[in-house]
Structure 1
Amino acid sequence: MFIPLLRKELRVALRARLFYTLTFVYSILLCFAFANSNERLANYQVSKAAAEKLMKQEWEALDQNPHAAAHVGTYLFRPVHALQLMDPGLSDYLGTSYRVEAHRQHEPNYAEANESGGRIRFGDLSPAYLLQVILPLFLLLLAHNCLSREREQGTLPLLLIQAPQPFVLLLAKASAYALFGLLWLSLTAVGAFATILYADMSIPWSALLGLFSAYATFAVLISFSWVFISACSRNSLYALVICLTCWTIWAVIIPRAVSIYAETHIVLPSRYVFNKKIEDGFFKGIDGDGNAAARRKQLLRDLLKQYQVDTVTQLPVNFEGLSMQAAEDYNSRVYRHYADSLEIQLLEQEAVTARYSLLNPFTAVRALSMDLAAADLRHYLQFLHQAQKYRDGFMRRLNMDMAKHADNRNPYAYKPSPDFYKQLPPFRPETAEDSTYLYRYALTLLGWSIALMIGFLAISRTINANAK
């Protein structure tokens, strides 16, 4: 009896014409969303390519000593993941470039949200936003009265004659609306393929499969949720109000409330306070290491003792180069000392969101989507750590070249050969996958699915009584 009931529900829904209107509106929104994502990503790639070309030309034309070159520095850029055309996640709000510069540790800067003005307020219209917020709303409009309508029209007893098991009736109705959700998801998948190919980017098949599997599960889960509420409601108005209330709580209230709770209970230091701690830690020292001047004097004493000479000019290596490298090493140590605790706080805030995702499938699918699109906090920190590692190696290469070749009598007169700057290695970031995060949110969706099945079984036992 499942198939006839499924066909009947599909015919009833299609006869009402609302599905066609919603599909038309969804398609228009989807076109705008992909156009917006493609424009944003194309602008970033053009700017990134132009900046990299300019920095390369500047470095190949350098005719300065290594220390001056270290102050010229360079910029590193976050890699672009193809699925960010689907879900930009936090990419618009986190920095996209990292400044490599002597004596200073930077964080990624030039976030899209700071540069886009009013466009970023409309920029939330991404394909992921449609799937996470608009698609559940459209399914709500279709499915909220699927059983309450039958009860109001007096046709529920006739349906129960066709379906001796009320659970089969519930399953057929929920499956019909799940098919509508999967159809809209298929339109999104076609748009994603077309946009990725148009952007001339390689398709990450495993991540893409995981992404659409998560959204397919979410669409089915939401469809079953609206049908369950309809089955529990005496009339269509109550069903609509309850469904809209749940949608508002899941899509708007819980994410905002959890975010505010995390920010107020795990308070992050301001950028000024953070930078001040690093500055004081470097000049005054941490862990009883002494101030910067004392550390420099101790380095000189150690070098004179190591090479058994009396003055700086007698050293076989350049003291300024070694001193600057020691300062860079200490600066990196101080930075990590304070940055590690800051990152722990950031991850604790994210852990709060993860815990409350058990109450909200919308939060779970959003976190899954951002992770698979490499647009979440974890991937941001991966880029930051790799950029800092590259920066430390970059500075070490410059300082050690000066330490090896410069004269102690006039160290800043030394200039390396033009080939030295041309041979500096490029920055090649890599994305390391961690399935822990995926399993955490996938289990949340699975838990909600099991809970709904139990709810279907429970409500099916009382549906005969409610039909009378």
Structure 2
Amino acid sequence: MTAVKLIAREEWRMLARNRSGLIATGLLVLLILVAGFTSLERRSAIETDRTRYQTSVDETFDAQPDRHPHRMVHYGQFLFRPIAPLAFFDAGVNSFTGNTIFLEGHRQNSANFAEARQSSLLLRFGQLTPAFILQTLAPLLLIFLAFASVAREKERATLKLLLAQGIGGRSLIAGKMLGHGAIALAVGLPAFALLLGFAATGAANWATVGVMIIAYACWLLLWAFASVIISALVARPRDALAILMGLWMITIILLPRALPEVASAQNQLATKIETEIALHRDLLEIGDSHDPDDPYFNDFRDEVLDRYGVRTVEELPVQYAGLVAIEGERLTTQIYADAAQRQAAREREQNAFVHTFSVLSPLIAIRQLSMTLAGSDPAAHQDFLDQSEAFRYEFVQRLNRMQAELLPEIGGEDPRISAAYWQEVPRFSYSPFDPLADGTRITWPLLVLGGWLAALCVLALFAARRIGGVAR
């Protein structure tokens, strides 16, 4: 057996005799399992409720009586966002972005009923999910287990004995890193087993699960290696503990919370009132599509008359008001889309600013990567908004076309079309967001984690050289 393996095995034996370490490790593993199964049950309950609500909303829409199509445009529809399969592992921004959208004509509504607004303020500290435990609590455990790994050899004066027996500094550091690296992976094993089990059922993609396991393995190894190396660079265990706790507080507590505030101050988002005022001003410029005689639509009326080869609106084979509604919806949709794109661009700039500093705080990298793979990041939410808006536009325009094409055949002061047409309106079908479709979104976080591990390996060589100098 090589010296590296002997040192690793000796480290495991020493940790096995550490009762407090065993209890803390057992509690953390139990917490991961409890968080995993609780999150799975909670996800299943929420998904069941949303499916039931969506079915109820669709049935209510189908059951509407004979009506004017434009009344159905304003009656609208509700959409409930489905939960991504791996969102049980990392809830990401799902609790803050809203999960219900009301679709209607002439407006692009935002998602409402965010869970954080309806729950205790404790939710803002982070949900108890496997990702939260691995990102925040697991590093503390690894620090606690490894902060004295090399420093205690110095304090007890056993380091020189090891070096005198022919064990080099590199072998010593490598053995300690191997021992604590294996412990780090063992700590993450319950979470990895949950992910693999979820993939085995077909609920999640194997490639996505594989990348997530690799990412969290790198994250845990990073803290195990850092703890051993810092322990090798200082003289006393308590100094190593102080440095590692400071590193944990800065990279996991301080920077991830301070950087978003800085980004928000540098690139402020428009408030809801400011957005509504700007939209109202832009909408006034295109006129009122509810009024066929609105002066803003004079050019449109002339274009329609030329297209159909008639001289008056009354001679049109379709209802002119319906055509105005179609054109008005096209114009208002473009205005809302432009505003939404500007807002989304600012949010992306804020996120990009924060992600740039993941070099200093690897938690930002693992959090970004985890949310992306779990389908619970801002991009996944934006994808739902884009799909729902595309559906809303087609839904409204379909009803507007019914108004233009069907009402001339009915006539009367209060024309209504058959309720059977409501059942012909398509229902929303969400296409699941593929987190691996755009590789650039996961490349940078993976590079950051890999870069930290590479830097720690270089630092480990430096620490080994210093230890080797003790023997001379």
User: What TM-score, normalized by structure 1, do the two folds share?
Assistant: 0.93
**What is the Cα deviation at residue 120 of structure 1?**
2.3
User: 1:69-80 maps to which residues of 2 (within 5 A)?
Assistant: 69-80=72-83
Counterpart of 1:314 in structure 2 is: 315
Equivalent-residue separation in structure 2 for 1:27 and 1:453 (angstroms) = 27
Shift of 1:400: 0.8
Asked whether the 8 Å contact 2:151–2:231 carries over to 1, the reply is yes
Summarize the alignment of residues 433-444 of structure 1 with structure 2, pairs less than 5 Å apart. Answer: 433-444=437-448
- Confirm whether residue 54 of structure 1 aligns to residue 62 of structure 2: no
Q: 1:195 to 1:115 in 2, by over 3 A?
A: farther
SS in 2 for 1:135: helix
- Tell me how many residue pairs correspond in the alignment: 461
| Alpha-carbon distance in 1 for matches of 2:453, 2:100 | 41
Equivalent-residue separation in structure 1 for 2:339 and 2:346 (angstroms): 11
Residue 435 to residue 24, structure 1, CA distance change in 2 (3 Å): same
Identity rate, percent: 28
Amino acid corresponding to residue 247 of structure 2 in structure 1: C
Q: Which residues of structure 2 form unaligned runs of 5+?
A: 288-292
Determine if the alignment matches structure 1 residue 22 to structure 2 residue 46: no
- Cα distance change of structure 1 residues 162 and 438 upon mapping to structure 2, 3 Å threshold: farther
Partner SS for 1:175: helix
Q: After superposition, what is the alpha-carbon deviation per residue over 1:350-397, rounded to whole angstroms, capped at 9, x for unaligned?
A: 111111001111111111000000111111111111111111111111
Deviations 1:167-214 (A, max 9, x none): 2211110121111111111112234456788xx871322211111110
Pairwise CA RMSD of aligned residues? 2.2
Moved more, 309-318 or 232-241: 309-318
Partner of 2:290: none
> How big is the shift at 1:256?
1.1
Q: Does 1:155 align with 2:154?
A: no
CA contact (8 A) 1:81 1:374 kept: yes
Is the contact between residue 5 and residue 169 of structure 1 (CA under 8 Å) also seen in structure 2? yes
Distance apart, 1:436 and its partner CA: 0.4
Unaligned runs of at least 5 residues, structure 1: 287-291
Kindly tell me: are residues 196 and 413 of structure 1, through their superposed partners in 2, closer, same or farther at Cα, counting changes over 3 Å?
farther
Q: Do structure 1's residue 132 and structure 2's residue 130 form an aligned pair? A: no
**Cα gap change, 1:337/1:122 in structure 2, threshold over 3 Å: closer, same or farther?**
closer
Q: SS where residue 95 of structure 2 aligns?
A: coil
8 Å CA contact 1:318–1:408 kept in 2: the answer is: no
**1:289 aligned partner:** none
Instruction: Tell me the residue number matched to 1:328.
Output: 329
SS across alignment from 2:376: coil
- Say which SS state the counterpart of residue 99 (structure 1) adopts: strand
2:381 is matched with which residue?
380
| Aligned with residue 172 of structure 1, among 175, 196, 201 | 175
Shift of 1:10: 1.0
Where do 1:78-157 residues align within 5 Å?
78-118=81-121, 120-121=123-124, 124-157=127-160
Q: How far off its partner does 1:121 sit?
A: 4.5
The one-letter amino acid paired with 2:295 is: A
Q: Is the 8 A contact 1:321 1:400 kept in 2?
A: yes
Is residue 85–residue 195 contact of structure 1 (8 Å, CA) maintained in 2?
A: no
Matches within 5 A, 1:297-308: 297-308=298-309
User: Residues 401 and 236 (structure 1 numbering): CA distance in 2 closer, same or farther, change over 3 Å?
Assistant: same
Aligned counterpart, 1:250: 251
SS in structure 2 at match of 1:454? helix
Is 1:270 the counterpart of 2:271? The answer is yes
Name the counterpart of 1:279.
280
Aligned to 1:7: 9
**In structure 2, what is the Cα distance between the partners aligned to 1:412 and 1:327?**
23
Residues 405 and 414, structure 1, Cα contact 8 Å, conserved in 2: no
How far off is 1:156 after superposition?
A: 0.7
TM-score normalised by structure 2 residue count: 0.92
